Amino acid sequence: MAKSPPLEASVSGVVSTPEQPKLGEGSDPAPHPYDFHVSGPRNLSAPNWRDLIRSSWKDPNYKRMVVACFIQAVYLLELDRQEKRDETTGLAPKWWKPFKYKLIRTLTDERDNSIYGAVFEWDRSAAMSDFILVRPSGAPRAVLALRGTLLNRPTIWRDLEDDLRFLAWESLKGSVRFTGTLNAINDMVSTFGSANVCLGGHSLGAGFALQVGKALAKKGIFVECHLFNPPSVSLARSLISFGEKAGSLWEKVRARLPTRGTGTVSPVLGGVERSLSMPEVKKWTPFLYVNNSDYICCYYNDPAGTAVATDVGTGKGGVIAGGNTGDVVAKLLVMSKGPQKFLEAHGLEQWWSDDAELQVALNHSKLINRQLRSLYTSSTQPSTQSVKP
């Protein structure tokens, strides 16, 4: 695969504009490093009539790569806007058109007019031109893709504002982008149905996707969700962890203190862990894609027990929510063969790379347990209603 400049670099998926290729006198324009045919996947086939017999979308690797391409398109939509490129000269359309999808909506931050998300719909007309009479099995009707942080002057301050929001509070609900994303996914669910909608995000965008997906799941609305390099570090979580350790230490000290009236040491009745009350309904199971060399997302792979890796092609394995329930609440896919340096390990390009090797980690993940525990502490009934922000 042709190599392009790294797209990510900092606390939540950072993209900066590469230096433009220089032209010699009388020479043809050099290709842009973010052109699809330069840095896109090399062996990812476009849909064709054969998908009517055996759909490529049923392959988890194919779906991962296409969703990553859609997210890349959102990065480039914003760069196209900044550099005043239109639909004919822009870089972004080349990242969704090969897969027979069309852009039907962009999500714009009202604070700086930057594009942070986009909705793509199956393009029936484009598919018919290639004799694809029906949408392939497993292909979503619509995909909502969310980008991470762009280190460009027009958008950097609003992006970093949300980065710091997550870093401080481990929550993005106060952001206008959270509200905009939730409203967009509600509209998609109302139009296409939750089973036909897919949500994807990278880095900061993955943080928004996770929290919006949780908000929907709490109401019984389950949408397929793919989270690439989701942020896993926050000051709030560090303080909570410190408090938990301090509390545990204090309980050990109390256990050695004499009780009143007896002069003997009484054993401490440890706090009984309440296992998750998993409702007997369909559960929301997001897909998390993590590179252990990326310190922003690697804590999702920090187990409370022994981790077991399985081959990604089997589709088995996942992250158990805690206790002894054995219920899988997330699919955690870890890059076993890929970039090791931080900038590349946090990049989006690795997830559409042809030679990427992933393993499904099966473990008691502390962070995922905390992130998703609230979904299963009370019975959740399926619903088709929209969720209010």
pLDDT at 9 over 70: no
**pLDDT value at residue 248:** 55
- Note the pLDDT of residue 255: 58
- Confidence (pLDDT) at 69: 97
Query: What are the distances in angstroms from CA 308 to CA 285, 291, 326, 373?
Result: 18, 16, 14, 21
Per the model's pLDDT, the better-predicted residue between 167 and 314 turns out to be 167
Q: How confident is the model at residue 93 (pLDDT cuts 50, 70, 90)?
A: very high
Query: What's the pLDDT tens digit per position in 311-338?
Result: 455 445 555 544 444 567 788 999 988 7
Residues 229-257: tens digit of each pLDDT: 999 875 445 444 444 544 555 455 445 54
Q: What confidence tier does 105 reach under pLDDT thresholds 50, 70, 90?
A: very high
Position 155 pLDDT exceeds 90 = no
- Contact status, residue 131 vs residue 158, Cβ threshold 8 Å: no
Asked if residue 194 has pLDDT above 90, the reply is yes
**Residue 156: pLDDT over 60:** yes
Range among 9-13, 142-146, 364-368, 379-383 rated most confident:
142-146
Give the separation between CA 84 and CA 387, rounded to whole angstroms: 35
Model pTM score: 0.78
Supply the mean pLDDT for the chain. Answer: 77
Q: Give the pLDDT score at 230.
A: 93
